[in-house]
Amino acid sequence: MIKRCNDFGAGGVSVAIGELADGLYIDLNKVTKKYEGLDGTELAISESQERMAVALAPEDVDKFIAIATEENLEATPVAKVTEEKRLNMVWNGVSIVNISREFLNSNGAEKHQNVHVEKGSVWQPQWAGLTFSQKMKSMVGDLNVCSKKGLSERFDSTIGAATVLMPFGGAYQLTPQNAMVAKLPVDGETTTCSGMAWGYNPYLMSANQYVGARMAVIESVTKLVATGFRYEDAYLTFQEYFERLGNKPERWGKPLAALLGALDAQIGLGIASIGGKDSMSGSFEQLDVPPTLVSFATAIGKASRVVSTEFKKPESTVVLVRPIIDPETGCPNFF
What pLDDT, on the 0 to 100 scale, is given for residue 160? 62
How far is residue 63 from each of residues 3, 21, 30, measured CA to CA in Å?
A: 14, 21, 19
- Model pTM? 0.77
CATH code for the part of the protein at 157-305 = 3.30.1330.10
SS (H, E, C) 193-244: EEEEEEECCHHHHHHCHHHHHHHHHHHHHHHHHHCCCCHHHCEEEEEEECCC
Q: How far apart are CA 86 and CA 88, in angstroms?
A: 6
Cβ 270 vs Cβ 221: under 8 Å: no
Identical fold at 2-105 and 157-305?
Answer: no
Rounded average pLDDT per 10-residue block, the chain, 335 residues = 86 89 94 86 83 93 94 93 95 94 82 92 89 94 88 78 88 92 88 96 94 95 96 94 93 95 94 82 89 96 95 91 82 79
Is the distance from CB of 169 to CB of 88 less than 8 angstroms? no
According to DSSP, the residues that pair with 81 across neighbouring strands are 24
Which residues does residue 299 pair with via DSSP β-bridges, in sequence order? 195
Domain ranges of the chain: 2-105, 157-305
**2-105 classified as CATH 3.30.160.270:** no
Q: What is the pLDDT of residues 74-83, one digit of tens each?
A: 999 999 999 9
Pairing of strands 273-279, 235-241: parallel
Residue 176 pairs in a beta bridge with 168
Helix, strand, coil % (nearest 5) of the chain?
30, 25, 45
Strands 79-81 and 180-183: unpaired
Q: Kindly report, residue by residue over 173-222, the tens digit of the pLDDT.
A: 889 999 999 999 888 889 999 999 999 999 999 999 999 999 999 999 99
Does residue 53 contact residue 6 with C-beta atoms inside 8 Å?
yes
